[in-house]
Amino acid sequence: MNELLELRNVSVSYGGRPALDSVNLSIAHGAQVAVVGPNGAGKSTLFKALVGLLPLRSGQILIHGRPAAEYSDPVAYVPQREEVDWRFPVTVADVVAMGRYGRRRWLKRLSDADRELVLKSLERLGIANLARRPIGELSGGQQQRVFLARALAQEPHVLLLDEPFTGVDIATRKATLELLSGLRARSVTVLVSTHDLDLAAGRFDEVVLLNGRLISAGPPREVFTHEHLQAAFGGQMVVIDGKAIVVDQCCGGHGPVGGVDSCRCDTCEPPDGGGGEIR
Ligand code: ADP
Ligand code: MG
């Protein structure tokens, strides 16, 4: 498989406070990759940097060996649920149609082929019957599927899903996994952030383990070692019968075994950069 996506020494910060530090990463064309790490590890930051929503403090992101900025259309991004304003007055069909607008000039009407693709995407996610409904009226799982349909309509080469399995119903989880299987057949490169380590180990080709920096990347067996998990999750990790289990996505404000300094969760590390004190 060829390299599709490459990060060279990528650092991102918020107001001078580092969120990702010198990340080097290569993702092969068609790979399905789980992005894993505790809260505050920089998973969402990584995705936003990949779609150009955040400037890089340093480094480069390349797609097919060229700067990612030249390739915004083929990268589809489904943000974490909390980051979307669901009160925005727009119908399901409108949201999915937005997946087609990136490819055409401003104000140009969608073609029949575009409309057909929008409809197919709605059907594929089982929400064609909701097309005329405002997104704000839907359940969380339905809203998630609207965004997946929009991403599908975009016909992406790269799909970024930020925590698509967090807080959704079983039907949506199943629809999302089926979508991923379909995309595998079409060699779409997929990055999915998740807190579900079993899913990451069992369902993905590669895992990227983050905690502000890249801890490890590669096949799940090589990434999910006790050392790597300890480096990423610190005191959130316990070992039971030889199996590493992450007990909580936040250190609970008590600080991990390695000390509060090594926990990057928002409880321990206030946004003003207050030096890791517990609030
Ligand atoms: P994750 O998605 O892994 O939970 P994020 O990428 O959201 O992590 O956050 C990484 C770090 O950047 C955290 O310390 C978080 O507090 C900080 N951060 C995220 N978004 C912002 C923002 N808009 N302004 C300031 N700091 C932010
Ligand atoms: Mg996040």
HEC-encoded secondary structure of the chain: CCEEEEEEEEEEEECCEEEEEEEEEEEECCCEEEEECCCCCCHHHHHHHHCCCCCCCEEEEEECCEEHHHHCCCEEEECCHHHCCCCCCCEHHHHHHHHHHCCCCCCCCCCHHHHHHHHHHHHHCCCHHHCCCEHHHCCHHHHHHHHHHHHHHCCCCEEEEECCCCCCCHHHHHHHHHHHHHHHHCCCEEEEECCCHHHHHHHCCEEEEECCCEEEEECHHHHCCHHHHHHHHHHHEEEECCEEEECCCCCCCCCCCCCHHHCCCCCCCCCCCCCCCCC
Q: Is 266 in the pocket of ligand 1 (CB under 6 A)?
A: yes
Ligand showing the shortest atom-to-Cα distance for residue 162: 2
Which of 133-137, 173-177, 258-262 is predicted least confidently?
258-262
How far apart CA 26 and CA 24 sit, in angstroms, is 7
Assign 69 a pLDDT band (cuts: 50, 70, 90). Answer: confident
What pLDDT score does 254 carry?
A: 46
Q: Is 211 in the pocket of ligand 1 (CB under 6 A)?
A: no
Q: How far is the CA of 42 from the centre of ligand 1 (A)?
A: 6
Assign 256 a pLDDT band (cuts: 50, 70, 90). Answer: very low
Q: How far is the CA of 189 from the centre of ligand 1 (A)?
A: 24
Return the higher-pLDDT residue of 127 and 101.
127
Q: What mean pLDDT is predicted for residues 161-176?
A: 92
Q: What is the position in ligand 1's atom list of the atom closest to the CA of 41?
A: 3
- Give this prediction's pTM: 0.86
Q: How far is the CA of 46 from the centre of ligand 1 (A)?
A: 10
What pLDDT score does 149 carry?
A: 96
Question: Which of 13, 14, 192 is the best mutation target for the ligand 1 pocket, counting ligand atoms within 8 Å of the beta carbon and taking the most?
Answer: 14
Q: Is 44 in the pocket of ligand 1 (CB under 6 A)?
A: yes
What pLDDT score does 89 carry?
A: 86
Q: Is 208 in the pocket of ligand 1 (CB under 6 A)?
A: no
Average pLDDT taken over every residue of the chain: 85
Q: Is 40 in the pocket of ligand 1 (CB under 6 A)?
A: yes
pLDDT at residue 251 greater than cutoff 70: no
Question: Which of 45, 50, 264, 277 is the best mutation target for the ligand 1 pocket, counting ligand atoms within 8 Å of the beta carbon and taking the most?
Answer: 45
pLDDT at residue 259 greater than cutoff 50: no
Q: How far is the CA of 211 from the centre of ligand 2 (A)?
A: 12
What pLDDT score does 275 carry?
A: 35
Residue closest to 212 by CA, chosen among 19, 7, 13: 19
Q: What mean pLDDT is predicted for residues 144-161?
A: 94
Assign 223 a pLDDT band (cuts: 50, 70, 90). Answer: very high
Q: How far is the CA of 81 from the centre of ligand 2 (A)?
A: 10
- Encoded tokens for 257: 């075994």
- Tens digits of per-residue pLDDT, 78-114? 999 888 888 888 999 999 998 888 655 555 688 899 8
* Closest residue CA from atom 15 of ligand 1: 40
How far apart CA 244 and CA 96 sit, in angstroms, is 40
What pLDDT score does 249 carry?
A: 53
Q: Is 99 in the pocket of ligand 1 (CB under 6 A)?
A: no
